[in-house]
Structure 1
Amino acid sequence: MFEFARGVVRFVEQPKTIRYRLGAGSRTYTPDFAVDWCDGRRWLIEVKPADVLAEQRNQEKFDRLSEVFKSQGEQFLVLTDLQIRKTIRLAQVKTLLQVRYGKWLDGASRPAVPSGLENRTIAEALRIGASGRAIVHRLAARELTCCLDTEISGSTVLLPFEESHDDALFV
């Protein structure tokens, strides 16, 4: 998902370890990922199973960590396995990444695309002369976006890329 997000400049695993206080005790913590965005934002991300996150002691811990990171100018997010592993979304992102990196369509050159595909369904875009390959390439490059939580089909609406579409991949 980090690779697919257009606004991600870089991401690293276990970027740093901090010390923080919770109750009377001092603890250490290392987030799973740091994500740096082109607009200067930095997300520190923890991924946990949904049932573990629901435990009261973990909620308190993550609330405290959110405060600590906010005081350092960083945003802390806890994502569940359910959020990041949505079956349809994950499969579609993997396919679009294969297109982006030339591992699909035999690395064929990028086709020409007519303008004005935004806010049309794929079926409408095909009717005005866009090829299926061209649409897929624009989706892979994140020049166009669409809902990734349902199968891409003729009724899928193509949208112009907005930064909020990157955030929606995660939250």
Structure 2
Amino acid sequence: MKEKFLTLCRENIHREGIDKLLAWLEKSDFFTAPASTRFHGAHEGGLVEHSLNVYEQLTNGEPTETTAIVSLFHDLCKTDFYTVSTRNVKENGVWVQKPYYTVDDKFPYGHGEKSVFMVERFMRLTNEESFAIRFHMGEYSDPNTGKAFEKYPLALLLHQADERATFMMEVRNND
């Protein structure tokens, strides 16, 4: 999945700074991190898998630079965000320690806004791209979401692609 992600970035994103962003990702846990602690993509590599699924849902095989950027980097805020801990679980009447993911947010700057901030450390985003990433959580994130969706329809499309990837492609995989 890592190579597929990097290939899609290199083929579709030609903006100044993308090479630095990808170099930073290589040093981070982006390619091994989960997408959540216990819901969609709660496994090693879940974050990159989720990003690729959102890309598939948003681009429908016809990416633009903008759709590639917003889909592949919408959850950048989850990079270096999770840690592995252990808990006691009873199996066959015996207590055993099992690993699980927990949040260790060293930079509590929100969700979508943190992803925008992190991307912009390396390359400039358009207003449309910034709004799409910032509001991709939809009604979960902000009372101004409707206004953002009206002004920048890409924000609504990214939110819908994120939901489809999560609930149609990934949640069943965690059963």
TM-score, with length taken from structure 2: 0.26
More helix, by proportion: 2
TM-score, with length taken from structure 1: 0.27
More strand, by proportion: 1
* Higher RCO by CA contacts (8 Å cutoff, separation 6 or greater): 2
